[in-house]
Structure 1
Amino acid sequence: MNLKTIYASLRADLSLIEKEMELSLCTEEPILFQTSKQLLKAGGKRLRPVFVLLSGKFGDYHIDKIKEVAVALELIHTASLVHDDVIDDADLRRGEPTVKAKWNNQTAMYTGDYILAKALERITLIESQEAHITLSETIKEVTIGEIEQIRDQFNWDQNLRSYLRRIKRKTALLISVSCRLGALVSDVPKHQQKHLERFGYFAGMSFQITDDILDFVGTKAKLGKPSGGDLKQGNVTLPALLAMSDPYIKEKITATLKNKNTNEKELNEALHLIKSSGAIECSENMSNAYLHKAQLELSNLPACKARQSLEKIAEYIGKRKF
């Protein structure tokens, strides 16, 4: 079983979720219609809906119920990306112009707000107070994570704990909640819900660390955006954090990036220092450690096709190149 096989097995339900997202964002307001349409057209891995669906397979699976969770969580993720692009002043995402680049910052911010509102509208169709409380708590934590990232831009004196807390809020939490809510609305036994939730957390941490590694070693063609963007924007991710334990590298990087008009040659020199420091390999080891923990959580669940699919997705997270 590979990733394509997993997605193929879920094709009908994922197609339904895609259509429901389109219906949710349908509006007579022309600009919101255009911006929302562009975002949906850009697509993505749709990992969160996949985690929702597969977690639901451990219980009483009904697509008409579980689709509401999948749509809501993917819309929340999409809204956060639109806001991220404004904060990061990003012109490209997945190889396409961002909303802020094609329109402007104000349009992008209100588009993100609109998508978030539609996500909350969808989740009200789930008759579970626990699901509502979980989702509101998640949105709060994700927002705190975004604020922390803004606060820590160009802060070269961060520690590992603050980085891990930030990526938990930025990425891992939404993946963890995808597993939890998919299981919750499908009446999966509580102890299995906990294992799925923890699996999602560990897989999400690995996913973000891999993302941060790819920003240094990936290509623009594969990433859909220029490499080294995080460093240029002053976002201190794991490879940079580990490399800067060397005072010489830290001094070189901070001196280079103090100048907001850093040219491509200077940025490439900073990237080379990090890549040759061993920090990439150490980051990969940490990502793999989280994946191992994720697989251990799955070992506590019943052996079934859904568990095999989650195991394969975890493997993909650790090996992906984009």
Structure 2
Amino acid sequence: MIEDVLKTEKKHVDIELEKYFNRLYKTEKDVLLKDFITQLEGFVMNKKAKRIHPILLNAAFSGVVNPMYIDDQIDQIREVSIAVELLHSGHLIHDDLLDDDDMRRGKPSFHTQLKNELNQIYKDIDIHRKDELIMSYGRNMSILGGTQGYLLGLDILKSTKFPKKIKLLAINEYTKAMDFLLKGQLVEEYMKYNNITMTLEQYLNIAELQRARLFEKSSKIGAILAKGNIHYQINPLSEAMLSIGQAHAIRDDIIDLEHDIKAKNHSKIIYILAIQNTDEDQSKILNELYHKENLTKNDISTVKDIFTKTNALMIAEHLAKNLVEQAKNTLKEIYPDLNREQKVFFNEFSEFVYDRKF
């Protein structure tokens, strides 16, 4: 089952991350930077992290590489794969800071984690504008921490022992992924602070930039390092994972529906689809509830009912399903075909993205 494969591969990624942070800590001489590395490790090593991006990189490499060489290179590619996890973690640190989210995967977000630590240090000390100082510390260190995540991932790729030519191609895709993530955040922040109502087209664009492109680039880096054919292997695999990444973003919105209603989030696909199909009364009710300070259980049920009656939930599910089918059809275009085990993996993973409940 795909869940068992993901669980096994996640363990391998966690082991590589732990080894990496141990090396990083031991080689760093500055005591303050050692403390920062410990803070970053605490955030990255969250047990609830799924590690999808390094798993996709590993699967793409194993699917494309000559099977004769896989045993000799599997340890090396696992070491490299954590680069995209560090990139993803850096993005999450910045994303939580911009959204002022206190929690990530059931634990304090990075900026909250840092603020809590400083708050403990200053607990019994009387300092002028202490709260402001603690807020600034969490913000500033998170800006630096997220950026450091990007750079650590890049350094892993630069240090790998793969041939120089394909290494440079992989680095190029990594920097493109970083660019997409930043552009997605820029667009989202611009819309939020300029009070621009998000359309379905804009939602899909942001989902592509902030979510789907990292699926695509993770797979592409793995296939490049395996010396895959750019036209017949790398491109169709990348295109398929781009569709899967978009389906994954939509599925997340479906799974997190109640949480997003409570947060009165206007930038989720089900709300956007509902607004396009509401009648005058439904539109008025949604507007009133989304401006209410706290929603009751009845309020949440009312919103869900409107989402159902406007077919917003059904349309979102159909859209995610169509993207998955599109991806599976694109996977069939890969030639020479993926190695058997990875061919099964990518097809089952595509179905898993749509069927998952978490």
**What TM-score do you get using the length of structure 1 for normalisation?**
0.86
User: Residues 120-139 of structure 1: CA distance to partner in whole angstroms, max 9, x if unpaired?
Assistant: 21121243222222221221
Q: Does 1:114 align with 2:148?
A: yes
Distance in 2 separating the partners of 1:273 and 1:30: 52
Q: Does 1:59 align with 2:91?
A: no
Report the equivalent of 2:46: 42
2:199 to 159, 168, 173: 159
Distance in 2 separating the partners of 1:274 and 1:230: 14
2:179 to 123, 127, 140: 140
Is residue 53–residue 85 contact of structure 2 (8 Å, CA) maintained in 1? yes
User: Residues 203-260 of structure 1: CA distance to partner in whole angstroms, max 9, x if unpaired?
Assistant: 101100101111215xxxxxxxxx126853x44121011000115344433344346x
Higher helix share: 2
In the alignment, residue 183 of structure 2 is paired with which amino acid?
Answer: I
1:183/1:230 Cα in 2 relative to 1: closer, same or farther (>3 Å)? Answer: farther
What are the ranges of 5 or more consecutive residues in structure 2 without an aligned counterpart? 116-137
The aligned runs of 1:171-320 (5 Å cut-off) are 171-190=211-230, 191-217=232-258, 227-228=259-260, 232=264, 234-245=265-276, 246-248=278-280, 249-258=282-291, 262-265=293-296, 268=300, 269-301=302-334, 302=337, 304-320=340-356
User: Residues 89-114 of structure 1: CA distance to partner in whole angstroms, max 9, x if unpaired?
Assistant: 11111111212223233332222122
Distance in 2 separating the partners of 1:88 and 1:253: 22
Distance in 1 separating the partners of 2:241 and 2:200: 21
**RMSD, matched Cα:** 2.5
Q: Which has the larger radius of gyration?
A: 2
In the alignment, residue 98 of structure 1 is paired with which amino acid?
Answer: S
Task: Report the alpha carbon displacement of residue 72 of structure 1 after superposing the two structures with TM.
Answer: 1.1
Is residue 261–residue 303 contact of structure 2 (8 Å, CA) maintained in 1? no
Task: Report the alpha carbon displacement of residue 319 of structure 1 after superposing the two structures with TM.
Answer: 1.1
What are the ranges of 5 or more consecutive residues in structure 1 without an aligned counterpart? 218-226
Is residue 175–residue 201 contact of structure 1 (8 Å, CA) maintained in 2? yes
Distance in 2 separating the partners of 1:5 and 1:52: 14
Distance in 2 separating the partners of 1:230 and 1:75: 30
Is residue 21–residue 37 contact of structure 2 (8 Å, CA) maintained in 1? no
1:81/1:197 Cα in 2 relative to 1: closer, same or farther (>3 Å)? Answer: same
Is residue 35–residue 111 contact of structure 1 (8 Å, CA) maintained in 2? no
SS in structure 2 at match of 1:321: coil
Task: Report the alpha carbon displacement of residue 5 of structure 1 after superposing the two structures with TM.
Answer: 3.6
1:25/1:39 Cα in 2 relative to 1: closer, same or farther (>3 Å)? Answer: farther
1:317/1:88 Cα in 2 relative to 1: closer, same or farther (>3 Å)? Answer: same
Is residue 90–residue 145 contact of structure 2 (8 Å, CA) maintained in 1? yes
2:85 to 61, 65, 74: 74
Distance in 2 separating the partners of 1:247 and 1:146: 32
Task: Report the alpha carbon displacement of residue 188 of structure 1 after superposing the two structures with TM.
Answer: 1.7
Structure 1 stretch displaced more, 198-207 or 28-37: 28-37
1:289/1:24 Cα in 2 relative to 1: closer, same or farther (>3 Å)? Answer: farther
User: Residues 274-315 of structure 1: CA distance to partner in whole angstroms, max 9, x if unpaired?
Assistant: 355321111011000010011112223426011101111111
Task: Report the alpha carbon displacement of residue 153 of structure 1 after superposing the two structures with TM.
Answer: 2.6
Report the equivalent of 2:18: 19
Distance in 1 separating the partners of 2:221 and 2:60: 8
Is residue 57–residue 81 contact of structure 2 (8 Å, CA) maintained in 1? yes
Structure 1 stretch displaced more, 111-120 or 270-279: 270-279
Is residue 176–residue 204 contact of structure 1 (8 Å, CA) maintained in 2? yes
